[in-house]
Amino acid sequence: MRIAVAGGTGTVGRFVVEAVHRRGHEAVVLSRADGVDVITGHGLAAALHGTHAVIDVTNIVTLSAAVAREFFETSTTNLLRAEKASGVAHHVALSIVGIDRIDASYYAGKLDQERAVTAGEVPFTIARAAQFHEFAGQLLSSMRGPLAFLPKTLMRPVAAREVGEHLVDVAEAGPAGRAPDLVGPRDEELADVARRQLRFDGIRRRVLSVRLPGTYGAGLASGSLRGRPGALQGRMTFDEWLRSDDHRRPNG
């Protein structure tokens, strides 16, 4: 099977590509580095020729609902249009568990992405996953100084590697509309896992948990991002991930 991975060089994308190769499929990476731009549509038609499935794990880092909506609507529309023209039989979109009532900030864009996929003409599966173990470190690295202020977030984080494997499972299974949600093995709080990561990495830094205002902040603190009963459960805990090769410790 020829599987194209949009965002194939990112946090999850690299594990998707690894899983595609490991299972004997052909992987096509859709990224600007490979001459393909999902925002402008440049290179998409040629890259998708002969492709059976597309796994979309493209992402943008923003807290602006307007920016997130524009990015996900544009990239999804371009992908679906090119897939339709190329005869792609299955579009797989990665989304996030528990965001139905958090139509704000970044999650507003993800919900618009889901709506665009559902309304499109390409057979699809939306696969929702919990926050990744990598999430806390990404936030910490975006801040400077001895203090890190993280939003109060109740979550059930999962390894990005396991998300990548799950997405290839979904692609192989064929269009299903909605795949079972995937969450991690333990309930966690964002600030706590960040403190454990800093301690493991030998970094002296204080982490404070701050309740954000509005719909977005309420959603993060509500526990809805931990998913609902019956979700598929990842195997690797956050502390196991810290000790794994997938955790890239700071140099020095």
81-127 confidence digits (pLDDT tens):
999 999 999 999 999 999 999 999 999 999 999 999 999 999 999 99
Q: How far is the C-alpha of 227 from the C-alpha of 79, rounded, in Å?
A: 28
Instruction: With a cut of 80, say whether residue 142 has pLDDT above it.
Output: yes
pLDDT digits over 148-206, tens only?
Answer: 999 999 999 999 999 999 999 999 999 999 999 999 999 999 999 999 999 999 999 99
Q: What is the pLDDT of residue 252?
A: 37
Amino acid at 64: S
Q: How far is CA 135 from CA 99, 217, 240, in A?
A: 16, 17, 15
Q: Give every CB contact of residue 51 below 8 A, 6+ residues apart in sequence.
A: 2, 3, 4, 28, 83, 86, 88
Q: Is the dihedral of CA 147, 106, 183, 226 positive or negative?
A: positive
pTM of the predicted model as reported, rounded to 2 decimal places: 0.96
Q: What is the pLDDT of residue 251?
A: 55
Mean pLDDT, the chain, whole residue set: 96
What is the C-alpha end-to-end distance of the chain, expressed in Å?
42
Q: Report residue 208's pLDDT band, with 50, 70 and 90 as the boundaries.
A: very high
Q: What is the pLDDT of residue 249?
A: 74
Q: Please provide residue 139's backbone torsions phi and psi, each rounded to the nearest 5 degrees.
A: -65, -45
